[in-house]
Structure 1
Amino acid sequence: MFFCSDHSREIQEDIIGSANYYQAYILIECPQPWAYNALESKWVPENLQLLAQEIKYNRLPIKLLLISDNESHRREEKSLLIYQREHEFANHYRKHEFKLKKIEEVALIIRKWLWLGDTSDEITSEVTRDILVCTHGSHDKCCSRYGNPFFYAASALISDLKLQHIKIWKSSHFGGHRFAPTAIDLSDGRYYGRLDIEAFREILLRVGSVELFQRVYRGWSILPPPLQVLERELILSHGWDWFDYKIMGRISEQNQNNSLMLGEISFETTDGYHYLHQAQITCDESKTVTVKGSCNASKESLILKYSLASSGSESLVIPKYVRLGHPEVLKTAS
């Protein structure tokens, strides 16, 4: 029997650059089971299905996901979580949380937020970090085979560590099932794959060596996929401090077939200094693979992979303000 996740591991596919770019995530608590297309599940009301179609038709950079935990089928109130990116220069998405008596109320709350910017019904929650693990087995069997056991092990770890500000959810499909078990860490919006419990523990606590990002990091949904390659290198360079920096990225130049581009990531450190990192990013034929993207795929697809070019990478410091004696200020002034 073919399992896409097993095959991806066997060919040692690099998983970086596989995070999807979104401006917002809408997470709707809905009991399982879920249909292959989650929003066609029996518990999803028609008004919510119509809203999802409108979002898709208008090509809005918004991802709707169903979420659940072990109590969702018993709990009377259901959670609606909206994570939105508010600023270009940021390190996370802003969270809005709502508690609703009926799932039929979800579409109205989303419309008020989407068209009017109205979040007046939101509540205050002690949970500041929501982690989504794809367990959508009806969409791809690898997400059930690897996602479900990981969800239960990760839930136990969070409980053992008494991390009450972190909530873990089962999630419907968000891509990358060939990297199962795969997860999204919100509010920052970073994607992970091929997770094991030890790597998950280090990500939760931000301890240990960041070298683990070489094997489990899929990328950051605030950045387009090619720039995710550059961002991983900056994580390896700056360590866990990187997660406290405010960041913005763009592709400033590219050739006609997108095989070579100039990427820029600017960031502000916690002491208020701005840096700009530029690098050439190239389509890497040695890493590009032809694979079945899912367990049920009828044919293989070409998956382009990117790497940093061997030359043309540099960092420039741009002080936001001058503070006497700062080593980078002295460097730029010399």
Structure 2
Amino acid sequence: MTTQKSSTNHQFCSVISKANGEDPIGSASTTHAWLVMEAALPWTEEHLHSDPILNEIHELFHKLDDRPASVMPIAIAPDKEYSVPGHIRVLYYQRPEDHFAQFSKQEFLIPESLISQFATAFTQAPQDLNQFAAYLQPDNHIRDLLVCTHGDVDVACSRFGYPIYQKLRQDDAATSTGKLRVWRCSHIGAHQFAPTLFDLPTGQFWGHLEPSILSVLVRRDNPVEHLRQFYRGWSGMTKFAQIVEREIWLQQGWDWLNYKKSGEVIAQDPIHDEWNADWAEVRIDFTSPDNSTQGSYFARVEAYAQVMTLFNSGHEQPLEAVKQYRVNQLTKTII
């Protein structure tokens, strides 16, 4: 079955995607670590190159982008409440191990005069930042929500992302007694799902967000089923494992976030590549928070439909067909 709606009256890619029912699951970026750094707006090429501090950050990000999925960079806009004059806040989130529940964090406040030194050290040995231990911040178990408002990449991100950022910043972060920070961030992929959000340290990606659903996402006090259509996936797994992980999460509820887990594709459609496969078989291993229960889920993911989407905003952009997937034959075994 193919669903299509006219793009005559729409220029935003996310409007087309949402109207045609494109499921965002499986679109979360996957990596071993995230480097999140403050960078003053605007994030234009001219500004990034003309400002010496921003240029150092920009060059570091370029070097990381050239490396295959080891560390992914994200810029965040300084905030009058969170930021410290003369310093750059750096959040370094890493997988603590292959089988894990959430990313571990190191947070630094680096003097601007040392940004070049930090960039060089991080490029050479990101696993060894001991020379910057004096700038390490205490781990206060702060949750960071990064909302993409990067209109220079796609106008949908600024048009739809900024109101979501404002609501979260004013309604939730402001009343969280310092336990929640909300940031404007640079591109985090898949702008056809704008407004998009990255939730750390859990590592969950969200898309097609609506103001009415934000309290459920932040407070986690309603059934997770309310969030099904907004979930892009968990960044600890790749595409097809993300699709299965959502189904498990919907069964297990919010406690699933505390389970250590890992996933792998054990068989896949040999005709198509990963992003266009007709089917895949997935195994997800899990361990309960108290280590009392271990087991595995096995599932088959199959394409069942196509919808039309727009990958970039603009009147002249072509609509493209994308496969939609569902989980079949989900079984659970306990060791």
TM-score tier after normalising by the smaller chain length: 0.7 to 0.9
Equivalent position SS for 2:205? strand
Shift of 1:125: 4.0
1:307 to 317, 321, 326: 326
Matched, 1:137 2:151: yes
Q: Closer, same or farther in 2 for the Cα pair 1:147/1:222, shift >3 Å?
A: same
**Counterpart among 165, 169, 178 of residue 164 in structure 1:** 178
Letter in 2 for 1:277: Y
Paired position in structure 1 for 2:4:
none
* Aligned partners of 1:227 and 1:263 also within 8 Å: yes
Equivalent-residue separation in structure 1 for 2:83 and 2:222 (angstroms): 37
Aligned match of 1:5: 14
Matches of 1:242 and 1:292, distance apart in 2: 33
Match of 1:292 in 2: 310
1:89-148 C-alpha deviation (Å, 9 max, x unpaired): 101111011101214444135236526464634221425211100011121111111111
Tell me which moved more, 40-49 or 239-248. 40-49
Q: Secondary structure at the match of 1:304?
A: strand
Q: Give the deviation of 1:41 after TM superposition.
A: 7.7
**Which shows bigger deviation, 230-239 or 108-117?**
108-117
Farther off after superposition, 148-157 or 61-70? 61-70
Q: Which residue of 2 aligns with 1:205?
A: 219
Q: Could you say which structure has the greater relative contact order, defined with CA pairs below 8 angstroms and 6 or more residues apart? A: 2
Per-residue Cα deviation, 1:60-116 (whole angstroms, up to 9, x for no partner): 432111101432888322201110112111011110111012144441352365264
Deviation at 1:202, TM superposition (A): 1.5
Aligned twin of 1:146: 160
Moved more, 275-284 or 35-44: 35-44
Aligned to 2:6: none
Aligned equivalents of 1:117, 1:101: Cα separation in 2: 15
2:226 is the alignment partner of 1:226: no
| Mapped contact 1:127–1:164 kept (Cα < 8 A) | no
Report whether the alignment pairs 1:98 with 2:108: yes
Match of residue 94 from structure 2? 84
The answer for the alignment partner of 2:285 in structure 1 is 266
- Judge conservation of contact 1:130–1:187 (CA < 8 Å) in 2: yes
The alignment of Structure 1 onto Structure 2 pairs a total of residues equal to: 314
Q: 1:8 is paired with a residue of what secondary structure? A: helix
**Is residue 2:64 matched to residue 1:55?**
yes
Partner SS state of residue 305, structure 1? strand
Q: Which residue of the partner structure matches residue 65 of structure 1?
A: 74
Contact residue 281 and residue 308 of structure 1 kept, 8 A: yes
Indicate the SS of the match to 1:313: strand
Whether contact under 8 Å (1:80, 1:106) holds in the other structure is no
Confirm or deny: 8 A CA contact 1:36 1:138 kept in the other structure: no
Q: Which amino acid counterpart does residue 78 of structure 1 have in structure 2?
A: I
* CA-to-aligned-CA distance 1:13-70 (integer Å, 9 cap, x gap): 1111111111111011011111279966856544444433333333243211110143
From the superposition, tell whether residues 36 and 141 of structure 1 become closer, same or farther in structure 2 (CA, over 3 Å): farther
2:28 equivalent in structure 1: 19
Aligned residue among 102, 120, 126 for 1:108: 120
Deviation at 1:293, TM superposition (A): 0.6
Give how far 1:197 is off: 3.4
Deviation at 1:317, TM superposition (A): 0.9
CA distance in 2, matches of 1:217, 1:74: 33
After superposing the two structures, state which structure 1 stretch, 30-39 or 256-265, moved more.
30-39
Checking the alignment, whether the CA contact within 8 Å between 1:80 and 1:97 is kept in structure 2 is yes
Superposed displacement of residue 203, structure 1: 1.9
Q: Output the amino acid matched with 2:106.
A: H
Identity of aligned residues (%): 26
Letter in 2 for 1:278: F
Name the amino acid aligned to 2:101: N
Which residue of structure 2 lines up, in the alignment, with residue 120 of structure 1? 133
Read off the aligned partner of 1:108 and give its amino acid letter: T
Q: Is the CA contact (8 Å cut-off) linking 2:20 and 2:308 kept in structure 1?
A: no
Distance 1:117 1:276, change over 3 A: farther
1:190 to 204, 207, 219: 204
Residue pair 1:34, 1:41 contacting (<8 A) in 2 also? no
Partner amino acid, structure 2, of 1:231? E
**SS, match of residue 229 in structure 1:** helix
